[in-house]
Structures are given as C-alpha cells and as structure tokens.
Structure 1
Amino acid sequence: MKWKNMLLAASTLGVVAGTAIRRRRELDLRGQVVLVTGSSRGLGFLIAKAFAHEGCRVAICARNEEELEQARAQLESHGADAIAVKCDISDRDQVSAMVDTVTRHFGRIDILVNNAGIMVVGPVQTMNTEDFQQAMDVMYWGMFYTTMAVLPQMIQRRAGRIVNITSVGGKISVPRLLPYTAAKFAAVGFSEGLRAEMKKHGIYVITVVPGLMRTGSHLGAYFKGKHKAEFTWFSLGASMPVVAMDAEVAARQIVEATRRGTSEKILSWPAHLIVRIHGLIPGITTDMLGVINRLIPEDPNSKEKIKGEEILKMMGNSPIAKIISSLAQNTTQGSKRTP
C-alpha cells in the first residue's frame, strides 16, 4: 500500500509539473508581431488572418505584388493591423530587406511563420536539376534565410516563436513529388534541430506537419509527364473532404500550437496515421507507395511543365473535370487564394 501511495503521489506531481510547464510557455498573442511568408493566398493567408483574429499585428509577404495588396486590404477590412512586403524568399538579400522593413514598421518580429512553398508533380524521369533546385531554394533555403534573419533579435530578447510549415512529405517520401519531399525532409531536419538549440534562448520552434489539405493547391501546382493523369490523382486527393483537411481549421490549429510552443503538430488524422505506421514499418509503407505508383499512368518522356489550372481547362467538360471543379468550389474563399 505504501508503494502504491508513493507512485500515486509521484504521478500527481508529474501531472502538476507538466501542467505548470505548459502554462509557463503559453504565449499571450495579443499585440504580438507575426511575419508569415507565402501569405498572399491559400494556407498562408488563412494563418495570417487567424493570427490577426487573436489580436496580432501581421506582416505578409509574397512575390506577386497585386495579390499581396489584395490580401492586405482583405486583412485590414477585418480590422487587422497589417503590412505587405513584396519578397522572393529564395533571394537572401530580399529576405534581409523584408525583415528590416517589418522590424522598422512594428519595432520587432515576435513570431515567424515559414509557409512559402512550390510544387511540381510527375515521375522523377521528367524532372531536371532546376526542379529540385527551385524546390530547395523556396522550401529549404527560403526558410533558412528568413529564420537566420530574425534570430538575432529574438536571441537578444530571449523570446520568440518560429513556426515551420513542413509536410507529411517531409516524413515519408511520396512518389511523383520528389523535389517537394526532398526539400521538406531538409526543412523538417532543420526545424527539429533548431528547436533543440534555441530552447535555451527562450525561443520555441514549432514543426507543423500538414497532410492533404483543401487549399486549391492542385490549381497552382505544376505537372509533368502524363499531365491529365497526374493532375487527376493529385486533385482528387487534395480536394476530398474526408481525406483532405479544411484549411481554416488547419490555420486555427497552427495558431494554437504556436501559442502553446508545441514541438510538433501533425495536422489531420490521415497524416497522423501514415506517419505512425511509417515509423513502425517503414519498408512496408514504402513498398505500398510503390504499388500505388504503378497504378498511375505515366509518360516519362514528357518534360513540359504545365500549371494545374491550365490542365483543368484542357480537360474541358469531361466528367472527371466536373468532379474536380465541384470539389474545388467547396474549399474556403481564403483557400482559393492558394498559389
């Protein structure tokens, strides 16, 4: 009986201590300055909107100045204190200038959300060095540049949050998406290691791992090989309500993970499931993906890169095009801003 009481007491103390630690690292978001990259539309825009709803001051950035201004105006129409800075995050000098601009305007940057991404879908034989280079430039080096630009001021204040939007593709390499998954694997590795190093400085790094999400990404992605077949499988997977997560729900969960300083946030139950299974039986999951890959028709000799929205037009009024269009209409308005 004595040992049972001691174990119960120890367990209770552990719960109390854990709760105290979690509360201590929770952040009051009101008045915090948030910089979100790749935020003129899609998930990035919804993340900026969700932070603004919590009372944050928001800086958004993207390459398209017109879309960026539209996004800023939309945020301000909802009462947000927001600025927009045109920036190609794959350019180190532009990133440095952007961070300086945001810091001068708001006085500091409390939270950085690395969200910008790019996607090319197709068999590896259709890919070239430039496809892999561009993916790394945006989703690894772009994340690296922005992070290293804001770190000095966060370390000086001994406070800050860095949120890296990676992907389930950064945990499991997905066929037909090798440039994307290679860059996301690098992003996950950098994010996890950075958390370990920055915690002593009072900076929390949050690794967000989304699965399929209804952001309209199939329209902004580029496709190679047998274009219509590649577009079809990807579009259906990225638009199905049961399989793909609602982007506004994802944005709210990302904000909450930021508030709590969570180490890793995997979004959606399918992503949770496949990551856990792969962790237990990686060889089997890889072989299963190989079987699925065989079912998708391919043309390894077609290296032309075509945007998803153009492929949808090429498909005309075919039944599958109508299904894809119908599913796309069910995405949120913010999600339709996806690049």
Structure 2
Amino acid sequence: MRGRDKVLLGALAGAGAIWGTRAYLRYRRRIGLADRVVIITGASSGHGLLVAREAAEKGAHLVLAARKAEDLKQAEAELLRLGARSVLSVPTDVTKPDEAKNLIDRAIERHGRIDILINNAGIITVGPVESMTLDDFHQAMATNFWGVVHTTMAVLPQMKAQQFGRIGNVVSVGGLRAVPHMLPYTASKFALSGFTDGLRSELARDNILVTGIYPSTMRTGGHTHAWFKGKQEDEFTWFALGDSLPLLSTSAEQVAHRLWQAVCDGEPSVVVGWPARALVLLQNLLPNEIAEVIALADRYVLPASENLDAPAKQGQDLEGTVPNLLNRAVPAKARPGTA
C-alpha cells in the first residue's frame, strides 16, 4: 500500500471515529421534553412563540417571559388552546437583574425546579454606524448580552444543585460574522457567542449543557419590530427583504425544530439555514476575501449614510413603504399576534 493510500485510509478512519463518538455522545445526552420545566424568554410572539409551541406539543411545562403582559397573556391563551399541559406567563424585562431573578423564582415556586432555559429575547437596530449613538450600543448589549447573563446567573444555583440543566442561547449568524449597518446588534451577539462557548466549557462538569443556536434571518415578521435609523425607508427595505424572502432567510419553524434537536441532544452549537451555513463555510475558508466582499456591499449596495440625526423608527411604522410581497413572504402563523 502506497503512502498516499495509507494517509487517505487513516483520514477516513479518523473521520469515522469522530463521527461515531459524536453520535454516541448525542445518544447518551439525549432527553425528551415531556414533563420538563422550560423557561423561554422573548416568548410572546415570533420565533419565541414557535419554540414554545413545539415544546408544548411534546408535553413540556412552559414558563413564558416577555416585557408586555398583554402579549404574554395572548400567547398563554393560544398555547393552552392548542393543548399545552401548563403555561405560566411572567412579564419580565431581562435587562433588569431583579426581574430576571423573579422569573426564575416564580418558575421554581410553581414547579419546584427548572430543567431548560431558552434565552431568545433580543432587539435589533439597523442603520449606518454614523447614525448610532452610545445608547444604541448600550441598549443592544443590555438585552442581547446582559439579559442572557442575568437569567443564566439566576438559574445556575438551582441547576447546579440538581446536577442537571440545559441552556439554549439564540445567538444568530450575526454573532459569527459582522454585518454592516447592524453594529450594535452584531457587537452584542459576538459577546453572547463568547459567553455561550465559555459557559459550555465550565458547566459541562455539572451536567449542565449549553447550546448556541446560530440561525440565518428568520421569516417571523421580525422586520416590523426592528428599529431603523439613517435613510429609514431604504434601510427597512433591504432588511425586510433579507428577513422575508425564502432564498435569503430561513423558516422560523425550521429554526425552532433544530433548536430543540440541538438542546435535547446536548450539542455545543447548531447553525441553521443554508445562508448561515454558507456564510460560515466561506468565512472559515476565505476570511479576507469575505471581508472585502462585505465592505464592497456596504459601499455600493446598502443605503448611503444620510439623515443621520433622525430618531429611530420601528418597522411597523414603515411597512407601507415596501411592496406588499413582504406580507405574502411571511407566513401568517409566524407573525406577532396571530395564531
């Protein structure tokens, strides 16, 4: 046998051993959702509500958190109507440590334990860096990073005491590759990505497994909740198209399904959607070239840096400025406030 053949066989054997080990670990770690106590933040609409629906279908006891009590009650009523075993809604601003702790305390008071925490709450502000203020960066970090830290640190004593837990952090592909005109969001998601990876390493010895979920943009109507600065109508248009068209975004149901697969299997991370997977692959293979392409896109494709001092507008106030095809691109059941 020639040396090249030996190397090839050795590589194949090594790949097979790695694959077999991963499959064995997934099998050993796999859990079901029946009778599990699950907390989901940002659960009143969109992706968070879809994550809650799937958990409810599999028999979990749900604890829902979001800022607006009225929206939470609507989500709770919908889940109970669909057959959820039990639903507790706790209005929570995760940027405030006391409210995050209250969420954990209420869940333990109701169920005696917490098995799974899904950190899904997040905010997005879109526009050129010149339009951003320090407050924009502080607000993004407060929700997207510190909100996760607050709930995680509050739940850890209970999970460590029972020597079991699963934590799923919805990060985004924006936590792996910087996205122009979304710098506060991207910076906060990079911080969350590092927190998730480090937390995984330190908690595994306590049988607490942390999973990072890195989806493409999702078709949930999220562009209506994002905030826009600079040339607001143009910023809304490009973001809404990327957030809505099937070729550029990912089904929110698919992301919710892959989230639960990864969390229940105790996987370290999962990248969801072909646009995200392609971007990560290209970023790893051609980092400098991808950086150049993205810089060119910022220069020639994205809106110019104008109207910089105008206050931010939310997407729902800009919806009339883009074609109606966006409403057709987003499934009704994924939109906020719909069943």
| Alignment TM-score, normalising by the size of structure 2 | 0.92
Tell me which residue corresponds to 2:48: 44
What is the CA-CA distance between 1:280 and the residue it aligns to?
2.2
Moved more, 274-283 or 253-262: 274-283
Which of 67, 71, 75 pairs up with 1:67? Answer: 71
Structure 2: runs of 5+ lacking an equivalent: none
Instruction: Supply the distance in 2 between the matched residues of 1:126 and 1:16 (Cα, whole angstroms).
Output: 50
How does 1:53-64 map onto structure 2 within 5 Å?
53-64=57-68
1:164 aligned onto 2:169: yes
Instruction: Supply the distance in 2 between the matched residues of 1:136 and 1:285 (Cα, whole angstroms).
Output: 26
Contact 2:26 2:267 in 1 (8 A): no
Tell me which residue corresponds to 2:308: 301
Aligned to 2:169, the other structure's residue is in SS state strand
What is the CA-CA distance between 1:281 and the residue it aligns to?
2.0
What is the CA-CA distance between 1:286 and the residue it aligns to?
1.6
Aligned to 1:262, the other structure's residue is in SS state coil
Aligned to 1:113, the other structure's residue is in SS state strand
What is the CA-CA distance between 1:229 and the residue it aligns to?
0.5
Instruction: Supply the distance in 1 between the matched residues of 2:243 and 2:128 (Cα, whole angstroms).
Output: 18
How does 1:304-323 map onto structure 2 within 5 Å?
304-313=311-320, 315=321, 320-323=322-325
Deviation digits for residues 56-105 of structure 1 (CA, Å, limit 9, x no counterpart): 11100101110000000001111111110000000001111111011100
What is the CA-CA distance between 1:301 and the residue it aligns to?
2.5
CA RMSD in angstroms, aligned pairs only: 2.1
Contact 2:37 2:61 in 1 (8 A): yes
Instruction: Supply the distance in 2 between the matched residues of 1:124 and 1:271 (Cα, whole angstroms).
Output: 23
Tell me which residue corresponds to 2:178: 173
Tell me which residue corresponds to 1:34: 38
When residues 32 and 282 of structure 1 are mapped into structure 2, their CA distance, relative to the original with a 3 A threshold, is: same
Contact 2:35 2:61 in 1 (8 A): yes
Aligned to 2:328, the other structure's residue is in SS state helix
What is the CA-CA distance between 1:24 and the residue it aligns to?
1.1
When residues 16 and 127 of structure 1 are mapped into structure 2, their CA distance, relative to the original with a 3 A threshold, is: closer
Tell me which residue corresponds to 2:90: 85
Tell me which residue corresponds to 2:226: 221
Structure 1: runs of 5+ lacking an equivalent: none
Instruction: Supply the distance in 2 between the matched residues of 1:287 and 1:268 (Cα, whole angstroms).
Output: 23
Tell me which residue corresponds to 1:289: 294
Instruction: Supply the distance in 2 between the matched residues of 1:148 and 1:280 (Cα, whole angstroms).
Output: 36
Instruction: Supply the distance in 1 between the matched residues of 2:182 and 2:20 (Cα, whole angstroms).
Output: 44
Instruction: Supply the distance in 2 between the matched residues of 1:15 and 1:282 (Cα, whole angstroms).
Output: 27
Instruction: Supply the distance in 1 between the matched residues of 2:13 and 2:238 (Cα, whole angstroms).
Output: 54
Contact 2:219 2:334 in 1 (8 A): no
Instruction: Supply the distance in 1 between the matched residues of 2:22 and 2:263 (Cα, whole angstroms).
Output: 18
What is the CA-CA distance between 1:157 and the residue it aligns to?
1.1
Tell me which residue corresponds to 2:127: 122
How does 1:139-158 map onto structure 2 within 5 Å?
139-158=144-163
Query: Counterpart of 2:46 in structure 1: which amino acid?
Result: G
Q: Which runs of 4+ in 1 moved over 4 A?
A: 6-18
Instruction: Supply the distance in 1 between the matched residues of 2:20 and 2:326 (Cα, whole angstroms).
Output: 50
What is the CA-CA distance between 1:181 and the residue it aligns to?
0.3
Deviation digits for residues 89-137 of structure 1 (CA, Å, limit 9, x no counterpart): 0000111111101110011110000000001100010000110000000
Instruction: Supply the distance in 1 between the matched residues of 2:212 and 2:99 (Cα, whole angstroms).
Output: 24
When residues 119 and 12 of structure 1 are mapped into structure 2, their CA distance, relative to the original with a 3 A threshold, is: closer
Aligned length: 329
Instruction: Supply the distance in 1 between the matched residues of 2:145 and 2:20 (Cα, whole angstroms).
Output: 39
Contact 1:226 1:302 in 2 (8 A): no
Contact 1:125 1:300 in 2 (8 A): no
Query: Counterpart of 1:32 in structure 2: which amino acid?
Result: R
What is the CA-CA distance between 1:256 and the residue it aligns to?
1.0
Contact 1:246 1:331 in 2 (8 A): no
Tell me which residue corresponds to 1:333: 333
How does 1:186-335 map onto structure 2 within 5 Å?
186-294=191-299, 295-298=301-304, 299=306, 301-313=308-320, 315=321, 320-327=322-329, 330-335=330-335
| Alignment TM-score, normalising by the size of structure 1 | 0.92
Query: Counterpart of 1:171 in structure 2: which amino acid?
Result: L
Instruction: Supply the distance in 2 between the matched residues of 1:106 and 1:149 (Cα, whole angstroms).
Output: 16
What is the CA-CA distance between 1:232 and the residue it aligns to?
0.4
